[in-house]
Chains A and B, each alone.
Chain A
Amino acid sequence: MQSLMNTENKTITLEKTAFLTIDQVSKVYTTSNGDYTVLDDVNLTVKEGEFVCVIGHSGCGKSTLLNMISGFNQPTTGTVKLKDKIIAEPGPDRMMVFQNYCLLPWKTAFENVYLAVSAVYPHKNKQEKLALVEEHLAMVGLTEAAKKKPNQLSGGMKQRVAIARALAICPEVLILDEPFGALDAITKEELQEELLQIWRNHRLTVMMITHDIDEALFLADRLVMMTNGPSAKIGEVLDIPFSRPRNRAQITEDPRYYELRNYALDFLFNRFAHSEDPTDDIIEPEIQNNKLKIAGIVGGLIVAAIAGFTLFQSFNGNNEQSPKNNTQQISN
């Protein structure tokens, strides 16, 4: 089904198919225990204006994949291209919204957004920059909280600031790393709807990591499901056929919703269930730590023994000397 869709799209718009391409990407970390392959032969093409969600168990390399798109990470083999340009470093055209917000705590909401705006548009005058910041804070409904520092904001408000900061600099791709993972259910739904609205108005391209199948089904055009690591790859790509604009109630009533949901759940929990057995490379470091601990204890004991012995000796020495001192004092 997916291949069919792809060929259809290719015939419609050729340039749109090559907006963001992940081509035969693999990522290998060299560790003391040998090579550790996180991602193996990942291929994905994202069209301009598409909303793609990535889902998979923790440790499957979703974040690694996203970090390669944002440029924090480089693939070991293969290429990640945005508009035919290889991504080599982070840049504001691929703005991230992080799970832990990454706001600067010493700056107010306004200043946090302003920093991004003034860094990306150094040639705009101050008036324009201020207007941009105000516009985007208003878009996420934070005009009144603009003067507050992140610590005075709730989690949802912080993530709104982060979204405002990301959008204020007009990125070509918006990358979201589990943006709503730490939020309560109601705030989460609110923000999902706001994000959809913004996505529609700005015609953004969005890559988003999530753990939440319902979230993915509500938001995404396509859902990328990853297999388990090590050597994770893209297991399957689900097309989510609901028409836009989406209405949560309508979607959940759609019989296809449960088909897709069950299919995704089956993928995650039956076909690629996360094994509970701890893998070898998790045990190794603990053993090393134990060795270090033992070495530390033995070393500490030796030092203590030497110190104790010296103290004991000097104590003895004092005892021998003390009578003399006493006699001296008496004679004085």
Chain B
Amino acid sequence: MSQGSPLLTLSAIDKSFDIHRVLNSVSFELARGEVHALLGENGAGKSTLMNILIGVYSADAGKLELEGKPLKISKPSDSARQGIGMVHQHFRLVDRLTLTENLLLAADDHPQLKSRAAAREALLSTAKEIGFTLNPDCQVGELSVAEKQRAEICKVLALGARILILDEPTAVLTDSEASSMLAAIRRMAESGRSIILITHKLREVVGFSHRVTIMRRGETVAAGLDTSDLSIEKISSLMMGSSSTSLSPDGINSKKAPGNIQEHGPDLLAISHLNARRDDGAPALTDVSLRVRAGEILGLAGVGGNGQHELTELLSGIRSASSGSVMIDGADALGLSPRQRRKLGLRVIPADRMASALVSDLSIAANLSLTSVVSGRFGRLWLNRRRIQREAQASIEQHEIAGARPSGRMGLLSGGNAQKVLLAREIDSGMKLLLAHSPTRGLDIRASALVHQRLREAAAKGAACLLVSEDVEEIMALSDRICVISAGKIMGELPGDASAADIGRLILGHE
């Protein structure tokens, strides 16, 4: 498909946020009329790259060229004017307006679309061309997710997009909806438009794209490979990277104890046939069964948004299940409040520590003592403030929380130090079951290694750990057993020494 000069070239793009280098000399090339799959794990830099292309971010260095001419994009309307359109995972449509009105709203630079009748006609003819049916007079809020997506695509195309970026277009669709969407994507390419397809589903890549570019850790590891030369296995090993040892470069102990298989320990957590719904009523968890024994770490791998959030909320006690059972240390926990679950020995490190575990406006001492104050350890009626301060000081020293004073404000700590405070509070003598959701999200390598060390120590002391993470390398580095969740279902269990490719296949839905 790469006959002639490329339509769009991004070369040597660099981008850093603060000190974090997110893109490192990334290159990408798009030909006319092709479907180009852009692959990579979460955090590989795909979205950052696309956001640079559509003008949400600006690149620190590098060159953008459209049809051989330098392309200057400093804000989203610049890219729209050049015919580059993106369909986000979260649709950018106003629910209370009709589809036609949504197109009118975006038509400031398109004089030919400024009348209602013209906008309506443009939508209908675009839809017809790519084989969609849609009702332009329907309020967007009344459409299903799949219909909204088609509406958004038609809107972007009606605004004159010839390069269309689709961010995980099938993630929200059912299987049959997804295949008709993919067929439509092929039709769009055949009509001369170029499609950048961001996806996690390798089956779609192999079946529907012409070329593949793979990113890992902010770098292009494979650029513009012909899809016909690739197999799913080859792609997934390129995505995951072959080495799994890169996580702890400075040698801090985050290696797992080899062969730590707890065959006879008690099940401190036993989840069976658990079903739950998302806030919008769609199924979040379907027939989930897991057990975690004392002294082991069970890693739950999977791409974010596949039910992990609901599972951790459910286990913490802030979301209810529709059916199934959860036993914590032998006791039925489903009907229990978060406080009663704590008494059973559950400790939680949530994914968003500042939102659901720590109070940023309170002092560090208050945060450290929060759970013990609730349980009455610092006095039932009035608080023993001196003891709170003293124990906070001890915790700070023991956990080497840099820059912290007991009376200092929580919100002023860095992410890594805040996580240390949370670990110091949660990993206490009453802990039997530790639920950790993305415990190293947003932390640097050093802090991550320390968190890993704490989790290992907790397991070595006999706690059961459920580690929920989207980071496959983290899962591989810590887990004694690995389960994979996808679309709210447990896809299978692997031993702790499984390869990234094995995990990747389960994540992507290939048994």
Does B associate with A? no
* A contacts, CB < 8 Å to B: none
